[in-house]
Structure 1
Amino acid sequence: MINFSFNDIRLRNKLLIMYVLSVLIPIVLTNVIFYHVTATNIKNQKIRDANFALEKTIGELQTVFDEAVGISYHFYLEFGFNEIMNRTYDTPISYIEAYEAYLRGPLSIYSQTYDAVGKLTIYTSNDTILTSGNIERLTEDVMREPWYRSFNEAHLKHPTVYFNKGSFSMIQALNHYDPESPYTHILKIDLNRDEMSTLFQHSPFDGQLYLTGPDNRIAFSTDPFTFLSEEEADYASIPISEDMIPFEMTLAEEYMRGWTLHGIMNERYVLEEVHKSRSFVLYLAIINFVLPTIIIALISRSVNTRLVRILKHMKKVKSGTFEPIPKKESRDEIGQLTMEFNRMTNRIKSLIDDVYIADIEKKDLELKRRQTQLRALHSQINPHFLFNALETIRMRSLMKGEKETAKIIMDMSKIFRKSITWGQDWVSIKDEIELIVCFLEIQKYRFGDKLEYTIHVDEELRELTIPKMTFLPFVENASIHGIEKSPFKGLITIDISQSGDDLVFRLTDNGIGMDAGKREDILGYLQQEEEEGRDNVGMKNAYARLRMCYKEEFHFSLESEPGAGTKVEIRLPMIY
């Protein structure tokens, strides 16, 4: 299995990867995202503008129809007009008088005032009314016309829009005041097609407009390729490609129900502004691409060339050729590295030629001399001689019946043997307690009945390991400095227990104690780094070893009062 590491890639390739990941890809992505976001924003804005333009066009178209509806409702609700139309005239003169008095003015005013009104015609079945101007007879031929049949079949009370062969008409029955009248009156307003054509041509919508009826057939369009014949084209037949954006709005009025204004806009027009700025975006991308490329190429060449030159000279040093690199004026890190390499090369060559070999020979001789001295010192002390001497004294004491003396010598031998044993820095609590018992027995032999001691150790803690001779120096200090100077019988209590995850060693004596000043002096001495020639050396050594072994996890406390004894507590993390 091959373990890949980025450090295995050559510097030139690293710079190339850095260029691709940090310059090329970000520039390409930035320009692509910028172009896409810009195109999307412009497209959305154009769509919003197109919807607004379509709403404006449909509002203007609605205004045209509303004018025709307003005229029809005027005649529909005008009582005087309806009364004249339903009246039976005895002579033509009486009708002409009524026409001139009441009908000519309104009929001519509406036709001339509203540009949207092309022609206003009232069809009536009243035979006593003369046909002239805007009034026509409702004959059989008229009733057979498509617009009349469509209106008559619909039975609508409100105005209705009728479209046929490119012409719009607004039709309204005039029977509001006398529905039981024997006469029928129909108002037909033909809208001005030129006015509607102008309305569509001046629409702010940038695209083709199609006005469709309830049957979805095109009634009006701005598309020059849409040809209206006898039968209007179906809007569904208009081809809409993928680059076309369709719009649709329905006319809301009751009389225009089913009529819809459609708009089709070419997406290329929507993105026309983006396409206009495409060259600018392209030039900007080229600048963003070429300029960093040139800068990075120059920096890469500057770094790579000089590092390769240093590497070549380092390989020469490996083969024993101490050739300095030709100096060039450069103050960057590589230039400083070149200067230091030349200085190092000259220094190594000087050491090899003048000092290095002689110094190595001298140090080798000195090392051999010190090793010889150390072996000589080791050979001068033979612990077995001391053990044999102590054993001889112990046996002699037994032969003379001095069993107590023999026991003390055996305890002293155990202490001596354990203290000089090499290679065993950690011992069990059981072994440490055995060593403490030996020491206390010796002290008891010395003081007689003046010293008593008690030791309590939790059974499950006896196999825990601690640094060798951790507790003994503190027991020794309590015996010599606490009990020996006391005129009373001394008692040393040792308790080893568990508290949470800590091993707790408590040592209590009823000796002479000490005041607060002495206590602070001892604590300060224990925490000093330097050695001082004074008492409590064993306790300081034990404290220093505990601090080295347990670091911040070691806790030590000392409590004492004059005449009330001393209490030492040591907390250590439990190690099995």
Structure 2
Amino acid sequence: MKGKRKPSAIVNDIPLKYKFLFIYLLCVLVPILSINALFYVQISRNVDARERENLEISVDRVVYDFMQIVNECVAISNTVAADRAYNEIMDDTYPDNEAYYDAYNSVLRDKMWQYNNLHSYIYWMGVYTTNPTIQNGGSYFILSDNDKKSEWYRKITSGSDKVLLTSYQGTNPLNPPQQEVFVSLIRKLDNFTGQPYRKYLRIDLRLNNVQELFKKEHDYLQFKLLDEKNRVVLESDHSYYSMDKNVLLNMDTDDSQSSKQIVRTLGNAGYTKGWRLIGTPEGRVVNHEMSRALRLSLIFAVLTIIIPTLLIIVIIRSYNLRVRLLYRHMKLVKYEQFESIDMYEGKDEIGGLIRSFNLMTDKIRNLINDVYKLEIQKKDLELEQVRAELNYLESQVDPHFLFNTLNAILVICKKYKYEEVTDVIRNLALIMRRLLSWKDDLITVGEEISFIEMYLQIEKFRFQSRFTYDIDIDPSVLNFRIPKMSVQALVENSCKHGLQSVKGARKIHVSASMNDASLIIVVIDNGKGIDKEKLKWIKSHLQSDQDSGQNVGLRNVYRRLMMYYDSRAGFTIESTEYEQTSITIQIPVDLALDPKVEESHV
């Protein structure tokens, strides 16, 4: 009766190959792809974060180097402003040009040029003063109306700061017609009280040197230097020199790159307030690292997909092939075709199932063969029993005539005192009466041994003093049941074939005993024995169904034992030529006590 089908049992209705496919897709392919996607995203984030950190370090390095230049310029301006002697010379009123040039040649000229010569980042360094006795030229200029209109002048005079970093578009003092964009440090020279004239130190930075700082990082970043008014003062690989160009551009705050830009202020000092350096990533390095991360992720994904896929294909193919083969052979069993699976089944559970199936089919085939053989043996036994019954009926044609004749001979032997002949005739009469009175196929061991003793007494009369026999029976086995005349046939075989051609003393030993599991009956004679080839032939023909006309008695005993005791009886023949022959019967105790008895024939 089939059990109630559960809703979850729908899985059992799915073919095995689709189950394996679902397992592969849901438990292998999708997780691997998901993990690799997450792996790539994480690597991308790590690469982006690392490169961002490196770019920030680069921007900080440029800011630091640039501020080193600015701070050195501030230090120079502080040194000039703190030089009292220099400032007093600048505040002197010179009566004529000769007096000024004397002071210029002795002090003023070298004061500015020494800094220009020592610091390559200084493009020009000079002083603007309201002292009218100063002559314009070199590093010294009288503040003109144009100068006062300049952006740098307005910035330094409009605030309270003594030092100012500023950018502006102005005239090159060394080449007045040329308009340039300047980045300058402006310093008020007013450290001392009582100074009659206003003086301003102007240090113009060499923008090419600043661009050199940008070029060091050009593989990674593009830089823009912005002043306090958010104007682009300098860009990587680009300078502003002419009024014809759109100089001092306002910074576009809507730049698409603004989210990636790195912005740094130039410091906390008041003279750098509002100044910024913006680094825009080139993208080549980041793109290269991202491409490398993508290739690594793809390689990892391919490896983690191909290797498990190949492994799963091999495993699934192994399972699927053997299961399908087993299923096909099991379908053949339904049509009574018990074919074994001829393949290496393996040592796993399916392999064990295939081995069990092969063992089952082998046992079924053997059982069918045994059943057929058993039927044939039963038919043969029935025929033999029919023949025995016919012989028994024939022997009863006139049994009284046979016994009367034997009694007449027995009377004559007693009258003339032929005692030995009398014993032989008496035993022969008893044997014949016993044969006529046995109706069952199975008799007790005691009955069989009694019958054997009468037969051996007749053989004793035959061989006289050259023959002896020994019977050793365990009393506990006397009631065990064995086929009638099974042991007698062995004893008769020994007398007929073993002892007849022996010239010396002849001896037969018959024993019956029991161990833990079996009844053991042994018949031993010291006759001529059996050579190895013949013994081998006898053993091989005991189970044969072909009647060769030889060793009929032995084969009859063997087949009767196998029939009555379900093929569990043992029958062993051992022989040494010209020494002895031993025949052993082993019957399981449980069968000897309650054997399988066929219906007796009367």
Please tell me the TM-score bracket, short chain as reference. Answer: 0.5 to 0.7
Query: 1:70–1:46: structure 2 CA closer, same or farther, 3 Å change rule?
Result: same
Is 1:177 aligned to 2:192, yes or no?
yes
TM superposition shift of 1:187: 1.3
- Equivalent of 1:99 in 79, 85, 104: 104
**Matches of 2:240 and 2:98, distance apart in 1:** 52
Measured at CA, do residues 161 and 205 of structure 1 come closer, stay the same or move farther in structure 2, by a change above 3 Å?
A: farther
State whether residues 116 and 191 of structure 1, in contact with CA within 8 Å, keep that contact through their aligned partners in structure 2.
yes
State the partner residue of 1:212: 226
Distance 1:198 1:223, change over 3 A: closer
CA distance in 2, matches of 1:3, 1:31: 36
Aligned to 2:526: none
Aligned mate of 1:245, from 253, 260, 265 = 260
Deviation at 1:190, TM superposition (A): 1.5
Would the aligned equivalents of 1:95 and 1:129 in 2 still touch at CA under 8 Å? yes
* Distance verdict in 2 for CA 1:100–1:295, change over 3 Å: same
1:245 partner SS: coil
Q: Aligned runs of 1:175-574 on 2, under 5 Å? A: 175-178=190-193, 180-203=194-217, 206-222=220-236, 229-236=245-252, 239-241=255-257, 245-252=260-267, 253-267=269-283, 269-276=285-292, 278-317=294-333, 319=334, 321-333=336-348, 334-348=350-364
Shift of residue 90, structure 1, vs aligned partner? 3.3
CA-to-aligned-CA distance 1:88-127 (integer Å, 9 cap, x gap)? 2334443333333322221210122111111112112222
Q: Which has the larger radius of gyration?
A: 2
Q: Structure 1 143/258 Cα, relative in aligned 2: closer, same or farther at 3 Å?
A: same
Aligned to 1:567: none
**How far is the alpha carbon of 1:338 from its aligned partner?**
2.2
Give 1:18's match in structure 2, choosing from 23, 38, 62.
23
Rounded to whole Å, the distance in 2 between the matches of 1:162 and 1:291 is 64
Deviations 1:442-474 (A, max 9, x none): xxxxxxxxxxxxxxxxxxxxxxxxxxxxxxxxx
CA distance in 2 between partners of 1:235 and 1:342 (Å): 88
Native 8 Å contact 1:207 1:265 kept in 2:
yes
Q: Secondary structure at the match of 1:271?
A: helix
Deviation at 1:295, TM superposition (A): 2.9
Identity of aligned residues (%): 27
Once structures 1 and 2 are overlaid, which stretch shifts more, 223-232 or 247-256? 223-232
Measure how far apart 1:311 and its partner are. Answer: 2.1
Matches within 5 A, 1:70-149: 70-149=75-154
Counterpart secondary structure, 1:299:
helix
Amino acid in the other structure paired with 1:68: C
Q: Tell whether the 8 Å contact from 2:44 to 2:293 is kept in structure 1 after alignment.
A: no
2:15 corresponds to 1:4: no
> Match for 1:234: what amino acid?
N
Q: Does 1:40 align with 2:45?
A: yes
Q: Distance in 2 between matches of 1:347 and 1:230?
A: 104
* RMSD of aligned residue pairs (Cα, Å): 3.0
CA distance in 2, matches of 1:308, 1:92: 118
Distance 2:189 2:89 in 1: 12
Q: For residues 233 and 254 of structure 2, what CA distance do their matches in structure 1 show?
A: 13
Give the number of equivalent residue pairs. 354
Cα displacement (A) at 1:14: 2.7
Change (3 A) 1:277 1:42: closer
Supply the AA of the counterpart residue of 2:183.
Answer: F
Query: How far, CA to CA, are the matches of 1:305 and 1:294 in structure 2?
Result: 16
Deviations 1:147-169 (A, max 9, x none): 22232222432344233353111
In the alignment, is the contact (CA less than 8 A) between 2:339 and 2:361 conserved in 1?
yes
Aligned 8 A contact 1:168 1:191 in 2 = yes
Please say if 1:60 is aligned against 2:76: no
